[in-house]
Structure 1
Amino acid sequence: MKLTTRYERNLHKLGYYLTALFDLVVPRSYWLWHGQRLMEEYAALEPEAKAEVDARVAWYNRLEAPFNPGPEAIRPQQFSRRGQRSAYYLDFKRLLRCLPDDRPFRYEFGDVTWVPEYPSFVKSRPVASAGENANSVLLKLNQVRHYFMVPDPLSFREKEPVAIWRGKGSQPQRKAFLERYHDSPLCDVGCNHEESIGKPWHTGFMPASEQLNYRYIVSIEGNDVATNLKWILASNSLCLMRRPRYETWFMEGALEPDVHYACLADDHSDLEEQIRYYNAHPEAAEAIIRNAQAHVARFMDTRREWLISLLVMRRYFEKVEA
């Protein structure tokens, strides 16, 4: 099972990079045509669908007034692979080639946990009001890592009635969690990275497909968002987590506690209490799981995701002061 899951993930990565690299050699004229076709589809949307698209665009790009992008802004033709992480570069370049704009822009790639001084394209931002994080314009970046879903053949009630967590335990919130729950009879939690060798919570790797044998999967933010959150919410397991501090294209900040996930205390101190409650009330857990799956479904239409991404980028360029 472990090898199969790793093989499938590597196959997913291979397919992503081959497609993305092929996209780079396709003439820009095709991508401009592709972008125009998507804009025509947007204009033809039914009112309800268009309102949903517009709401997401406004959520990702909260800029309202024209702005100067600052002295370090670059123009599209200056955007290069040099010094960039390949997945971020490829995802961003695909979008950039679909728009005819030549106005300057800024970007911050990687785990961005601050709000840039100037409006910038980012993968992640702090959860905050629109007025506080408007300079962080979200795009769907590093997709190959963050949008790998795992099939789940088991119903909630068929799973083991305990909580599972695996990951890197170097961040303070994760280390405190491991110290508290590594020997709990209601949990199977551990760190499989080198920094935990010699600690009682050091354990072996467990692929996502095996974690789905458990009713409860804990999601704990690391540098920014938790990578496992997306596939947990897509599954038939219940996601247990505290309120998110960071958000990405997946709209973590729009998730409602005890509607899309079972909300834990900030220090995770009520984890066992929550497990006991939902073991006694499986119908409540299943209702949350259905809501979580409905949230995930919003991101599964590839063409619609392209359209929203281009609209987010276009809205940015339209507000750049010439």
Structure 2
Amino acid sequence: MIDPNYLPFILAAGGVVLLAVFFHYVPFFLWLSAKVSGVRISLVQLFLMRIRNVPPYVIVPAMIEAHKAGLSTITRDELEAHYMAGGHVEKVVHALVSASKANIDLSFQMATGIDLAGRDVFEAVQMSVNPKVIDTPPVTAVAKDGIQLIAKARVTVRANIRQLVGGAGEDTVLARVGEGIVSSIGSSENHKSVLENPDSISKLVLRKGLDAGTAFEILSIDIADIDIGRNIGASLQIDQANADKNIAQAKAEERRAMAVALEQEMKAKAEEARANVIQAEAEVPKAMAEAFRTGNLGIMDYYRMKNIQADTDMRSSIARPDANPAGHEPIGK
């Protein structure tokens, strides 16, 4: 049995619990706020949002903001569907309100598509109203006279709402601008003309339509700084001269090696000829002995030949005193 004295306290505690459960599943004050703001939504719909795991404190403030901004075409079901698809309801509504105030044509379907594509639609609208300045990294290029120039540019871009889905990002814009700067400097006759007229680079780059297919519209390209780098032309000429020198040295070494080889070959041939002469001289005594045996050569003939040989050696020694004919030792040695 429950003591009658405690019954009021039990009823009060039960009432508090019921009220807590009620206000948890039925956000009454949120409904009241929507009602005061002119947004039509029932308590049953707020309760069903809880059941569908859709937070009413996200949907209802977005509906109030859209209603106050005059965007009455946005419905609760569309906001719930976008939330359940993984989108950012607050950013989409903020972007639609900002676009409406800035007279930018942005529909709810386009805004949700941009948001679901992974881009910040609110930031894109802000960039459409207030263009963004992107600083390019240092771009190195070489003019026709071989002087290297290092340029830095500032690119002012505005978001292209219609190209945000499927359009290229900032990296593509920076890459195209860098390519245009390299092409412009490379087509210059000399580096002095580039230093005198840096705006010629931006004009040439802007004429190429570098923002085609990107999520941005390039408003201006300003050359912030140009520095002079190395003399690439002179360095290339020095490298070419060194390469030519090395080639010439290699060819000269090849010719020298061929000459040395030819010299060694000639020496070998000379030694071979001397060997043949010695071999032929060795046959002379044999022939003379054979001539003695056969009687074709007599003793007097032999002495006559020796006298002629001695006479020839004497005349040679007189003609060349420093010579040592027939291998004789010099006098007095």
Same fold (TM over 0.5): no
| Higher Rg of the two aligned structures | 2
Scaled to the shorter chain, the TM-score interval is under 0.3
Higher-RCO chain (CA-CA 8 Å, sequence separation at least 6)? 1
TM-score normalised by the chain length of structure 2: 0.21
